[in-house]
Structures are given as structure tokens and as C-alpha cells.
Amino acid sequence: MSDGMISSGWDVLDASHDALRTAVGAVPADGWRLPTPCEDWTVAQVFQHAVGDQIGFAAALTGEPGPDFNPFAPTGEMEGVDPAGFLEDALARAATAWAGVDRGVAEVPTPVPPHKMSPWSGSAACGLDAAVHGWDIAQATGRPSPLTPELARPLLEVAREIVEPLRPYGAYAAALAPEQGDDDVAVLLRYLGRDPRWSAS
């Protein structure tokens, strides 16, 4: 965790938050309108979606209000937005909410089906959302992937729990066939319907 950042105490989620933070921090001033691996969405739209989803996970746990915008219809309008502040507010909400979870409970509420998950799976699902959108933003802006094989392995585990019921709603594209030589990151990305070699050009 970076200094002053709130830790959730869940390793996968904290590493995923750092991945998203790294990707967003590296977006150049003129990078917000670039295309991303999420079809039809710009960097700004993926960013807004990712922020909204973190607030949504926090709200499911705490009962606080969710995002005050629709994460599935992001505007992409960044005028007057402080990206770091917008992001840190959402990450702090999510980390604080997960830090308060009792690890001994069988299930916690989540905003994604099946809407109840084990605490580990729920925290990792929250992480999956952050880390993969961090990858989208890094690819779009030509930055190194913030996704590591060490992080991709547990994320794939939770992806296999939650992704299939979400595909019909367009939350994830159809899985791509694995290719020889794929590392853990590529395996995860293809399972989520992303081409690990995607580039904007």
C-alpha cells in the first residue's frame, strides 16, 4: 500500500487497488479520450465505471448510498474532475468497508450475482473489478500492465465463480481461447474476453 492509503486487510483487494491507482496515475492529460479494450468506452468512461463499482461494493456492505451516477453508462466527461481525488475517495470507501468485514461470517452482500459471497471471494471480486479496469487503462495509454501473475492467479479463481452469470448482461465478453505460452495474466484476460495483446493502434 502507498503511504496514507487505507488498507482493507485483504491482500488481493489491496494489490488490485494499487494496480488501478498505478494505471490512473499514469494517464497523460490528453489520454482520457483514448479508446480502451472495453468496446465503445474511452479511458475516462472505464475510469468512471471502475470508481462507481468500488463505491457499489462498499455500499453493498455498509448500506451507505451507492454511486451518484450510473457506472454502466459513464459520461466520460472529465472537466473539473480531479482524477486522483475521485479515485481515492472510492478506494477509501471500499477499503474501509472491507476492513470492517468479519472474516468468520459465511457470506457478505455483494453488488454482483449471486449477491452473497464468502468474505474472501467478495473482496477478491471487488479486486477483480479494480485490477482488470486498471489493465484496460494501462493498455489504452501504452503503459506497462499493472497486473502481475501473482495477482492474476487469485483473481482468476474468483472470476471463475462470478463471470459466467454476468456474460449475458454484457459485463464480460465471451471468453477467448487460451493460447500456448499464455502466462497467468493472459489466461485471466482471455477468460474475461480480453485480448492480452490489445493495443489502441
DSSP structure class, residue 145:
P
* pLDDT at res. 200: 80
In a domain, 107, yes or no: yes
Cβ atoms 45, 76 nearer than 8 A? yes
In a domain, 50, yes or no: yes
Cis peptide leading into residue 114 (ω within 30°): yes
Cβ atoms 171, 117 nearer than 8 A? no
Q: Give the whole-number percent of the chain exceeding pLDDT 70.
A: 98
In a domain, 159, yes or no: no
Q: Please indicate, yes or no, whether the overall pTM of this predicted structure exceeds 0.85.
A: yes
DSSP structure class, residue 141:
T
* pLDDT surpassing 90 at residue 136: yes
Q: Are strands 108-109 and 116-117 parallel, antiparallel or unpaired?
A: antiparallel
Q: How many domains are contained in the chain?
A: 1
In a domain, 48, yes or no: yes
In a domain, 119, yes or no: yes
pLDDT digits (tens, 9 = 90+) for 56-67: 999 999 999 999
* pLDDT at res. 155: 98
In a domain, 103, yes or no: yes
In a domain, 190, yes or no: no
CATH number at residue 125: 1.20.120.450
Nearest to 158 by CA among 144, 170, 146, 172: 172
The CA-based angle 166-168-173, given to 5 degrees, is 80
* pLDDT surpassing 60 at residue 151: yes
- Dist CA 54 CA 71 (whole Å): 10
Q: Which domain holds residue 131?
A: 11-148
- Amino acid letter, 75: T
pLDDT digits (tens, 9 = 90+) for 90-131: 999 999 999 999 999 999 999 998 899 999 999 999 999 999
In a domain, 91, yes or no: yes
